Amino acid sequence: MKLTWKQIEPFVKSPDPKARVVLIYGPDNGLMRERAKLIGKTITPDLNDPFNVIALTTDQINEDPARLSDEAKAFSMMGGSRLIRIENGADKLTPVIKEYLSDPSSENLVVIEAGELSTRSSLRKLCESAKNAAALPCYVEDERGVSQVIRQSLQDESLMIDMDALNWLAANIAGDRGRVRGEINKLIIYMGKNKKKVTI
């Protein structure tokens, strides 16, 4: 399934259970990692859990194509669902993912992190068209998108920001989501416990 811009954030917070494979791709690596982490935490709260989280690379799967299905269909020793994370996703994964989607696990989730994939990418096309997969683009956000991230992050810390400060900050830290988060965290630390409103 191909998600629209408005569908992405709700999906990240509560993935559609029909999607057994989620492809997260695009030029914003920080946003890609953030979304992969949030989706992963809907499956298991500890992403370092060796029993419920398996990390694979595209090369490992290409060397042993059956490994994806074996890992994705295995039961967790500790109970609950398992997360299979595939890093460095690329088109050479397409045949393996296509075969897996013909009979996927109903419990475990496969999340693929890829970089930029063009509209001609076979992996992207597969995940956009399959009813039991989803494709989430991660493009570098404009100032409006960054403003929303700033406002929400500060609100989560019980901080407010005036409009001039918000506009200035959004214009000056726009870019990769990882960088944006880093700058916001510095601001939160600077504000400390006593200050409640960010101003210029």
Q: What is the pLDDT of residues 80-114, one digit of tens each?
A: 899 999 999 999 999 999 999 999 999 999 999 99
* 3-state SS, residue 184: helix
At 146-164, the pLDDT tens digits run 888 888 889 888 899 999 9
pLDDT of residue 139: 85
pLDDT of residue 147: 86
**Dihedrals φ, ψ of 53, to 5°?**
-130, 125
Tell me the H-state helices in 102-162. Answer: 122-129, 143-156
**Dihedrals φ, ψ of 186, to 5°?**
-60, -40
Measured CA to CA, the distance from residue 29 to residue 27 in angstroms comes to 6
Half-sphere exposure of 195 (CA within 13 A, CB side): 12
Is domain 5-137 classified as CATH 3.30.479.10? no
How many CB atoms are located within 10 Å of the residue 156 CB? Answer: 9
Under 8 Å between Cβ of 161 and 169: yes
Q: How far apart are the first and last CA of the chain?
A: 43
Q: Where does the pLDDT of residue 36 fall: very low under 50, low under 70, confident under 90, or very high at 90 and above? A: very high
Under 8 Å between Cβ of 132 and 98: no
Q: Is the pLDDT of residue 8 over 80?
A: yes
Q: Is the pLDDT of residue 176 over 80?
A: no
What does pTM read for this prediction?
A: 0.81
Measured CA to CA, the distance from residue 86 to residue 27 in angstroms comes to 17
| Domain boundaries defined on the chain | 5-137, 143-195
pLDDT of residue 86: 96
pLDDT of residue 196: 86
Q: How large is the average pLDDT for residues 42-54?
A: 92
Percent of the chain with pLDDT over 70: 100
